[in-house]
Chains A and B, each alone.
Chain A
């Protein structure tokens, strides 16, 4: 390995590193504004100047490739003087409004001016003024504060794939703007707020809400989709003030989607705080005792066969497990987790996971999407596919027309017949596919929902296995789950196992065969109510609560500890950041209460017990935050029927996918802006 001398210390570095990266290896901190690990190098802020031997001028370390035998000094007077000079220029036009700036306390410019700033200004002219720009409902702009690092522009073009931000004019007049001042059409747009090293781009919903040092920070997991992005929840008292990304290069890198970040104001609205009972067609407040008494009566008087149960999209593993135990205790066998009837095969763990892992998308050499829209179903996965597309020019193919995915892809067919041709090798694409070394096949729930959903899954699995694309080192089979609870539910067997029954769970629901339906946080479940008695247990007064006869309040995901399995099969811990509203009780405690009344028995003694028991149920579990053990057995292919049909991809109302997002004002603002621009079209 080549060697470089930094401040008299010799260290080894990898070829291709810049001087700045080599300095980081030597634990020398270099101040920077424009440089960002995940973005291309711009080299325009000049803050990272260092001294190099045989160079009379200081060099910008972020843009200078490190070479063998370089002698770099970072702590000399020369360097300090150069950086002070740069800082003076940056501050020349930067307003002195830290006290009224939302970035205050977490501002790179503020922090670095502490070390390199001069205490008074020699700049006697007026500071420049830049008009504020409109960048949509999420981003608040104050462009006089901008120091032109261009991180936001690079993020929009490189990561988000929406080249809508740009720098117009030049020199002192340079301004950052969006095309015709419209909001960014990206699900990742709010990440520019984190990227902005100053207060030019700040968060609109969070404007003037709190100072960073006043907030309690809790490291947690996002449940808006099945990706399980790592987040940090910032709370002030009870209120969740904001949600920020936590770096996890295996999953979300440094980014999170706008829904993850901004649905949090939905945690303050539409909350269920006390139990309700429907009396004379009206929901009235009641006590826990009365509500539980009524539920027990209903359970006792109803034939267990006529009890149906459904679990929602954001329920943690522990609660799913306790729910199942509770249902078993009352002999209920009709339960499911699916919102729509799609095919899944629970016989082996690889059958319902994103087996290639999100990180390995970057290493693949061919990506095939089958009936899925990763942009809306799993935004962070889409960001990875785009990264692979940009970095390695990975060819991407899709069965079914998905619309704009922020990268180019080829549509190789729109019907299941095309898929059959590919599997049989009759299609030209088969050759390309078979000659790839590390393909990734992503099957969406929309495809599995088709009549030939079973055919699609079983045939593709067989095809991949036969061609050795499912082995110990590479597994090309990927299922793109949409909900945070989906994989957990399959792992904990939360679905109808009753095989003797003629009608499936969905048919029973459709034909109103149940007398009592228990809903645990299910708000997306389509249910036409007739004479059923419905118990809804959840955190928000949404679609589920609307049709309920009894409502039991329980905490949302930020208000209780819980584990979630993401679509890769990674078990992650979601931690309690705030406390439940009003009289809300944790779901497992509610089941305890009901069972105590019914049978005078207790399911779980405490949370630790429950957690341990739940983890025992997880197949191939290897540890918290880790991918599951790579153990699989290929069962014989199940026979399936083929239907020739069009592969339709279900349109998702992206900003309104769950009860929290639907309660959020910010999300509905985003949705309105999106619909407006859809209606009017862009001028481009």
Chain B
């Protein structure tokens, strides 16, 4: 019974939405306005609403709510669900901070959480630094033909899936890999450098995986900047770095924010790069979640950790947007 409670939330949101739509229609009074079913025909109107409702309810909102709900329940076998043991509890969240087995502080998981977020933030900054010059060059200096060719060249590697891209990096960075062969051949090192063990592989892999995600929002943002503004700044004697700092970057801020948000969220939630390129001692937070599902079969705890990850990511993104004074609305546009 308690589990059905979640259905009240979407009902409430839909009610709010309807009230909002109705209210706005009355405020923006427009005699030529026609109702939704009037404008689309009854059959099509119902079909549109049904499709959108199926998506937003059954594929988006309800699954999220069920996951959150699961995280507040104890680990149960199927037969016990709905029985007397099926109570609401905070035990899964407590286990993130304090080991349920010995009552010690859960340093492993806490560290993994902060490491994942910090490493994702670092990868985000790295990708911005790598992509900004090319995005600027393509948007402001390149000819149309050249830009289209560059775009195509950017997209093609991304049709190879994430796993194989991680695999290709592993071939390069492994102790018997090409880079170590070159380094040893040149006599720069005697023993192979352990790129994968000390997480160089992880950072490179994450950066490589989401390069394009940074590139496109940046390009789109810089592209619409009027070239005359840059000319004007240059004519007034601004050095190149001030042109970027005071003209281009403020203008492209929404695009930068959206690229950074995407890269950060994707890295923090990534599974392939940490699994295949991370060192043996590195514990990425999504890998912990993965293990709760597939090794410990502790779904409630996995759900709780997943929810913590989501909450942590959103909190950090919001904080950053606040610090850099960008509104969320601008970012997702």
Do chains A and B stick together as partners?
A: no
Binding site for B on A (CB under 8 A): none
